[in-house]
Structure 1
């Protein structure tokens, strides 16, 4: 596999806004994915409070409500990101991740390829909370969320689905926010495994409350290109790869069926700021990580960038 660019895909949103029409416009395994019906609740101490709100930044920074019954308000800006960590298995890797995130403005970060076994939650030294979902018998795949300490009290629950899917729900007004973190199979897998993944993902979407702001993000191992901007108007923007591959078409079909848009293909950024994968020889660069949101809430997206 090629090298992973050490950048996050980030999406800054306001939970209170609706949809405005756009201007234009999947590692090898032979084990079937398993589904867990468990839910990881938020385990913050009852009655806990905070002494001060998190810092507010200019030009669309982060503002968060605080307190035991805190929720994300419509006027608040939150930053949601996705990152393929390649592994967090070795000692000290989680500390490296949280140290790296100090360079960014962020509220919740979806993680791929954590390679942690089983499912559960843990708290970092800084007070951030990690929810994770992996295989029971292997350090393989693995997805999760890193939730900033300032919004931990807004977590209503986190549900591990498989080593490739996990969901989290945040208390917000006027609509709660559900985020699905996905790690799609690579091109090494046959079509049956891809369809199995999308069937499982569709079940997750179908179980999400219809009124929630839905964000589906992660490493899709798929290429969506500028040709999709012409053929899938309103689903994909022009700031993406040069062409679309077969797995990219499957992603577009999924997005269309669920009325989702690829938010980070609408951000006007140069190509080198959109790449998230390099070939081993350094000659090919692709964007394979995408953040999808429901069309009706796309106007609540302030900026999507790498």
Structure 2
């Protein structure tokens, strides 16, 4: 095992810059991130399955085991987590080889955000951290030129004030605009907001929204327009039973309140609820499948640099 690790160290040189875990929170880390393979040398495309899930609790080790058992049944690379309900902040490598990061919420009995990174992508992690108990972020190296910033959000419920919701959006903006610049950004999580169908002139939404928008949903749409983001749930046509992400404990009310959002909508091939994933939560897992064509991205960048300035 030691000899294999030596080989891996030689194959993946250290990524310049920050380590995997900045000096933050509990201070527990797992060393420095190692560089990703240069994907352009083997393939023009990079495909990823990103998912978000409010499992209601991961406080006990048994909860983690149950989550991993369910994950074995589906395709996934990165899972964003809400309501981890663990104490403190830490990053650990699980016996399965997956990387688990979490930060507790405003109280140990509720809230908190985190990530589970598939063992196949652990060496691509450049940075993983949080800016608050409601907003965490993960930077993945796709190639030596392109990186992906994934932001996980757990929004305040209706029992919290609008000021607290605005503070959360400010934290998300901070991650999008002040963390090391990446080529792609994905924001996902439980937003506790109903966006509903698209209104006239709203290019940030697609044609396949469901339900009626509430006040918090309008706040979210305003945030999309301010940051140039797109709500990907609404761009893919699904049967009604594949749209809702939360149900009331009595199963009478069902709403779509968990979302996957991006600043480059063309990279997504699908966003869908996964019915067969179940750990007893009232939420359902939402998965987005994306495919990045590096050749196309280079062409876009070349055209933007050659395009003459308008007079």
TM-score, with length taken from structure 2? 0.73
Alignment of structure 1 residues 6-45 onto 2, 5 Å: 38=24, 43=30
CA contact (8 A) 2:30 2:92 kept: no
Structure number, greater radius of gyration: 2
Aligned: 1:99 with 2:69: yes
* Whole-Å separation in 1 of the counterparts to 2:187 and 2:28: 20
Matching residue of 1:181? 152
Indicate the SS of the match to 2:216.
helix
Matching residue of 2:163? 192
Question: How many residue pairs align between the two structures?
Answer: 247
Structure 2: runs of 5+ lacking an equivalent: 1-21, 274-311
CA contact (8 A) 1:223 1:286 kept: yes
Q: Deviations over 1:137-173 (max 9, x none)?
A: 6232110000000010000011122221111100113
Matching residue of 2:118? 148
Aligned: 1:250 with 2:219: yes
Question: Which runs of 4 or more aligned residues in structure 1 lie more than 3 Å from their structure 2 counterparts after TM superposition?
Answer: 39-47, 71-74, 208-211
* Whole-Å separation in 2 of the counterparts to 1:83 and 1:190: 24
Matching residue of 1:286? 255
Residue 197 of structure 1, CA deviation: 1.7
Residue 200 of structure 1, CA deviation: 2.1
Q: Deviations over 1:270-297 (max 9, x none)?
A: 1111111112332221000011100xx2
Aligned: 1:264 with 2:233: yes
CA contact (8 A) 2:53 2:80 kept: yes
* Whole-Å separation in 2 of the counterparts to 1:275 and 1:169: 29
* Whole-Å separation in 1 of the counterparts to 2:109 and 2:201: 37
Residue 299 of structure 1, CA deviation: 1.2
Answer 1 or 2: higher relative contact order, Cα 8 Å, separation at least 6.
Answer: 1
Residue 80 of structure 1, CA deviation: 0.6
* Whole-Å separation in 2 of the counterparts to 1:136 and 1:191: 17
TM-score, with length taken from structure 1? 0.74
Matching residue of 2:104? 134
Matching residue of 1:299? 266
Residue 41 of structure 1, CA deviation: 9.6
Residue 70 of structure 1, CA deviation: 2.5
Aligned: 1:238 with 2:211: no
Indicate the SS of the match to 1:230.
coil
* Whole-Å separation in 2 of the counterparts to 1:210 and 1:94: 32
Q: Deviations over 1:215-243 (max 9, x none)?
A: 011000000111xx133522112323221
Which has a greater percent of helix? 2
Matching residue of 1:215? 186
In structure 2, relative to structure 1, the CA distance for the partners of 1:284 and 1:126 (3 Å cut) is: same
* Whole-Å separation in 1 of the counterparts to 2:92 and 2:28: 12
Residue 45 of structure 1, CA deviation: 8.1
* Whole-Å separation in 1 of the counterparts to 2:66 and 2:93: 14
In structure 2, relative to structure 1, the CA distance for the partners of 1:37 and 1:199 (3 Å cut) is: farther
* Whole-Å separation in 2 of the counterparts to 1:179 and 1:253: 20
CA contact (8 A) 2:59 2:85 kept: yes
Q: CA RMSD in A?
A: 2.4
* Whole-Å separation in 1 of the counterparts to 2:57 and 2:237: 30
* Whole-Å separation in 1 of the counterparts to 2:209 and 2:188: 16
CA contact (8 A) 2:148 2:182 kept: no
